[in-house]
A and B are shown apart, each in its own frame.
Chain A
């Protein structure tokens, strides 16, 4: 029956198109995830905050603790931006 054959052909084509669309969507999504990862780990992040801090240190130079010096560095924060 020609109409049955035509119907089968149409159904097969619809199935092929659905599969093609699904594959393209999956490929685009996978590429997005890959691009996200590359951008995230590439380095140029935009806003970068680098903290250079040293913990407060106390140095005792004599055993009787009569002379003690302490040095304390305040935390320094440098912010840079590359857009």
Chain B
């Protein structure tokens, strides 16, 4: 068991990142007052911590033996290059766009709002990464758990992106 500890930790952290990100996106899109904003922020921070654990714990895996560059720079790792890169891009996008909240005054609120919308794209890329190269992607428990949080968030995203008809 101990020889797999890093591998299991990385997989568990990846699952948590996906679940927390989905809930954060759903909370962000629901727009139900200030408490929801706190939930959105807390879940986003939890996602960032989980993403860091997901990537860094892989460094201890005795089978893959990736370098820091392999898990942080897209298209460096030869292992599942495309889907690994999709995950790395999604992770960085989520972290950078998420942390930009704390410097939104410097960026400009309107510009920050425009940027913040791309977090949803990072979330979608994260799902693509998990489904295409996740070790647990073929298991029923993983698919059901992810669907339970990702589908409502996806529905909220579709509703947000659908233009509201202007009353005549």
Q: Is the CB of A24 within 8 A of B43?
A: yes
Instruction: State how many angstroms separate the Cβ of A54 from the closest Cβ of chain B.
Output: 25
Instruction: State how many angstroms separate the Cβ of A2 from the closest Cβ of chain B.
Output: 21
Interface residues of A in 10-52 (CB under 8 A from B): 16-17, 20-21, 24-25, 28, 31-32, 35-36, 38-40, 42, 44-47
* Complex contacts, B19 vs chain A, CB 8 Å: 31
* Complex contacts, B38 vs chain A, CB 8 Å: 17, 20-21
We find that the number of chain A residues with CB closer than 8 angstroms to chain B is 22
Is there a chain A Cβ closer than 8 Å to B16's Cβ? Answer: yes
List 11 other contacts, CB 8 Å, given A28-B16, A36-B12, A46-B7: A20-B35, A24-B46, A28-B20, A32-B16, A36-B8, A45-B4, A46-B63, A46-B135, A47-B4, A82-B135, A83-B79
Q: Is the CB of A16 within 8 A of B46?
A: no
Instruction: State how many angstroms separate the Cβ of A55 from the closest Cβ of chain B.
Output: 25
Is there a chain A Cβ closer than 8 Å to B164's Cβ? Answer: no
Q: Is the CB of A42 within 8 A of B136?
A: yes
Is there a chain A Cβ closer than 8 Å to B67's Cβ? Answer: no
Q: What DSSP secondary structure best describes chain B's contact surface? A: helix
Interface residues of B in 25-58 (CB under 8 A from A): 35, 38-39, 42-43, 46, 50
Binding site for B on A (CB under 8 A): 16-17, 20-21, 24-25, 28, 31-32, 35-36, 38-40, 42, 44-47, 81-83
**B contact residues, range:** 20 to 34
Q: Is the CB of A40 within 8 A of B20?
A: no
Q: Complex formed: what's the CA distance from A31 to B62 in Å?
A: 25
Q: What DSSP secondary structure best describes chain A's contact surface? A: helix
* Complex contacts, A38 vs chain B, CB 8 Å: 141
Q: Complex formed: what's the CA distance from A21 to B40 in Å?
A: 10
- Nearest first, the 4 A-B pairs at minimum CB distance are A35-B12, A36-B12, A24-B42, A28-B46
Instruction: State how many angstroms separate the Cβ of B137 from the closest Cβ of chain A.
Output: 11
Interface residues of B in 134-166 (CB under 8 A from A): 135-136, 139, 141
* Complex contacts, B42 vs chain A, CB 8 Å: 20-21, 24-25
Q: Is the CB of A47 within 8 A of B50?
A: no
* Complex contacts, A40 vs chain B, CB 8 Å: 1, 4, 8
The one of B12, B39, B63 in contact with A81, judged by C-beta atoms closer than 8 angstroms, is B63
- Closest chain A residue, CB of each to CB of B64: A83
Given A28-B20, A31-B19, A39-B12, is A44 in contact with B136 using a C-beta cutoff of 8 Å? yes
